[in-house]
Chains A and B, each alone.
Chain A
Amino acid sequence: MGVIWPDYSKPHPTSLLPDTIRGSAIIGALKSCGIEYVITVPDITTSEGLLRPIAAGTDFRHIKVCKEDEGVGICAGLAFCKKRAVLLIQNTGLLDSVNALRAIAAEYALPICMMVGLLGKEIGRAPRDSEDCGVRIVEPVLDALGIEHHLLETDEHVSLIRPAIENAYGRSKPVALLLGRRPRAS
Chain B
Amino acid sequence: MMRRDLCLAELARYRTDQIVVATYHAAFDWIRLQPHSLNYLSIGAMGLASSHALGLALGRPDKQVIVLDGDGSLLMNLGSLVTIAEVAPRNLIHFVCVNGTYEANGGHPTPGSGKVNFAGLARDAGFPRVYEFSDLPAFSSRIERLLREDGPTFVALKVEPGEPSPRDYNFIHGAETRSGFFAALNESRQIAR
Chain A interface (Cβ within 8 Å of chain B)? Answer: 37, 61, 63-67, 69-83, 85, 99-100, 102-104, 107-108
What are 25 A-to-B residue pairs whose CB atoms are below 8 Å? A64-B86, A65-B51, A66-B82, A66-B83, A69-B45, A69-B47, A72-B48, A73-B43, A73-B44, A73-B45, A73-B50, A73-B52, A74-B55, A75-B55, A76-B55, A77-B40, A78-B55, A78-B56, A78-B58, A80-B182, A81-B56, A81-B185, A99-B45, A107-B44, A107-B173
- Shortest beta-carbon distance from A130 to chain B in Å: 27
Q: How far apart are the CA atoms of A83 and B80 in the complex, in Å?
A: 20
Q: Which residue among A63, A74, A75, A78 has the maximum number of chain B CB atoms within 10 Å of its CB?
A: A74
Q: How far apart are the CA atoms of A80 and B183 in the complex, in Å?
A: 9
Complex interface: chain A residues within 8 A of B162 (CB): none
Chain B interface (Cβ within 8 Å of chain A)? Answer: 40, 42-45, 47-60, 77, 79-80, 82-83, 86-87, 173, 175, 178, 181-182, 185-186
Given contacts A64-B86, A100-B45, contact A77 B186 (CB under 8 A): no
Docked-complex contact B40 and A80, CB < 8 angstroms:
yes
Docked-complex contact A74 and B45, CB < 8 angstroms:
no
Q: Which residue among B40, B51, B82 has the maximum number of chain A CB atoms within 10 Å of its CB?
A: B51
Query: Is chain B's interface secondary structure helix, strand, loop, or mixed overall?
Result: helix
Docked-complex contact B185 and A74, CB < 8 angstroms:
no
State which of A61, A69, A70, A82 has its C-beta within 8 Å of the C-beta of B58. A61
Docked-complex contact B53 and A67, CB < 8 angstroms:
no
Docked-complex contact A74 and B54, CB < 8 angstroms:
yes
Docked-complex contact A81 and B48, CB < 8 angstroms:
no
- Shortest beta-carbon distance from B101 to chain A in Å: 21
Docked-complex contact B58 and A77, CB < 8 angstroms:
yes
Smallest CB-CB A-B distances: 5 pairs: A77-B55, A81-B59, A66-B79, A73-B51, A103-B44
- Shortest beta-carbon distance from B37 to chain A in Å: 12
- Shortest beta-carbon distance from B57 to chain A in Å: 8
Docked-complex contact B59 and A80, CB < 8 angstroms:
yes
Q: How far apart are the CA atoms of A150 and B40 in the complex, in Å?
A: 31
Q: How far apart are the CA atoms of A79 and B52 in the complex, in Å?
A: 10
Docked-complex contact B87 and A63, CB < 8 angstroms:
yes
Docked-complex contact A76 and B87, CB < 8 angstroms:
no
Q: How far apart are the CA atoms of A104 and B42 in the complex, in Å?
A: 8
Docked-complex contact A73 and B54, CB < 8 angstroms:
yes
Nearest B residue to A65 via CB reads B83
